[in-house]
Amino acid sequence: MGTRRRRARSLFSPSKLWAEPPGTLAVATVVTRSLATAACVAAVAGIAAAGAATGDAAAPAAAPRTATVASRTPATDSRRLAAADAPAPGETAPRPMTSAEVLAASTPSDWRPLDLQNTLYLELSSGRVIIELAPGFAPHHVANIETLAREQYYDGLAIVRSQDNYVVQLGDPEGKRPIHHAHRTLAAEFERTSRGLPFTALPDPDTYAPETGFSDGFPAARDLKFSREWLVHCYGMVGAGRDNDVDSGGGTELYVVIGQAPRHLDRNVTLVGRVVQGMELLSTLPRGNGDLGFYDKTQPRVPIKSVRVAADVPESQRTPLEEMRTDTATWAAWVESRRNRHEEWFKVPAGRVDVCNVPVVVRRVGGK
């Protein structure tokens, strides 16, 4: 094991520790245990005709990314939603909806375009990987990564690691790539105050956190006792590699989760965003033969053609995407459709759902 290998691993020291076997609602929480399936179904069924009951009809097509939300208890919010959308006395509740039916019943106000200023295009020879950044959680790392992209720091680097059921990692294995206006290291941004952050809670308990849910489209967790909120390690999440020193990362080394959610890493690494398109280009890469999935000398690394901020790319070359908002009645129905699958194939509904098992749907703008 030569100097190059040792250097590559030292750039992402957590890998040594992570070695494991091969809406419109102006409230933060809209999904709780008391939110019945019928209420979710009625919420979506009434969006087009009576969206004003929950405010959806007046929602802008692109909601603010960091809208301040009122502090209310989950029980209060779910009762308000259920009361507004439950069938009237004597009416028959609609049958539960499938995930496909929830999507089909959605309206334009249930979607928002990606923020081009906080979206990256990572170009590989096999295609484009699109990363949505999370400045609400890691503002300094996100700004630094965007500066690195504008300096063309990543261009010509490589994916140096592909560990089965874990992560792929990109970076400069020699550590010699110059940096001009960006910073090589930053103070860690593992978590932040929960005040002022939107949060749509899931109804089910979590192993790793007091509460999990979604914040502006990102899977997140929070602890209201200490007013803390953080992103969680789900499939497709992007983090900034660091050494043992928590302040030794800055975005020059990035990793993407390609396996089962390694939630034990939560609040140990700064998460900076998530892949919204192109995961198949990363998850299917050949696995590294070296320790922890690093490519050894017998394997060619995967070259990175370029990384660009989407706003800097000519409009004709952009990929117009929008994602489902996570603060609407439609989102509540979407979550319920994932908790209890009603497609014909399913015979035993799970009755609960994990934060990493609720996909935030991304599609071409306008549903094309």
pLDDT beyond 70 at 85? no
Residues 349, 353, 357, 362, Cα dihedral to 10°: 90
Using alpha carbons only, what angle is made at residue 282 by residues 280 and 284, rounded to the nearest 5 degrees? 65
Does residue 252 register a pLDDT over 50? yes
Q: Which of 33-37, 75-79, 334-338 has the lowest mean pLDDT?
A: 75-79
pLDDT classification of 64: cutoffs 50, 70, 90: very low
67 band by pLDDT with thresholds 50, 70 and 90: very low
Question: For the chain, what is the radius of gyration of the CA atoms?
Answer: 21
Structure tokens at 261: 């959610």
DSSP per-residue letters across 323-354: EE-SSSHHHHHHHHHHHS--STT--S--S---
Average pLDDT over residues 111-118: 98
- Per-domain boundaries in the chain: 3-22+115-317, 37-112+321-367
Maximum distance among all Cα pairs of the chain, rounded to whole angstroms: 76
- Digit-coded pLDDT (tens) for 203-239: 999 999 999 999 999 999 999 999 999 999 999 999 9
* Residue 68, amino acid: T
pLDDT above 50: residue 247: yes
pLDDT for 56: 36
The pLDDT, as a whole number, for residue 119 is: 98
The pLDDT tens digits for 131-165 are 999 999 999 999 999 999 999 999 999 999 999 99
> How many residues are listed for the chain in this entry?
368
pLDDT interval class at 174 (50, 70, 90): confident
Q: For position 176, what pLDDT does the model report?
A: 87
Which pLDDT belongs to residue 294? 95
Residue pair 229/193 in contact (Cβ under 8 Å)? The answer is: yes
* CATH architecture, range 3-22+115-317: Beta Barrel (2.40)
What is the rounded average pLDDT for all residues in the chain? 82
**Residue type (1 letter), 203:** P
What is the per-residue pLDDT for 86? Answer: 61
What angle, 0 to 180 degrees and rounded to 10, lies between the N-to-C axes of helices 329-339 and 74-85? Answer: 100
Tokens of 338: 């994932």
Residue range 180-193, pLDDT digits in tens: 999 999 999 999 99
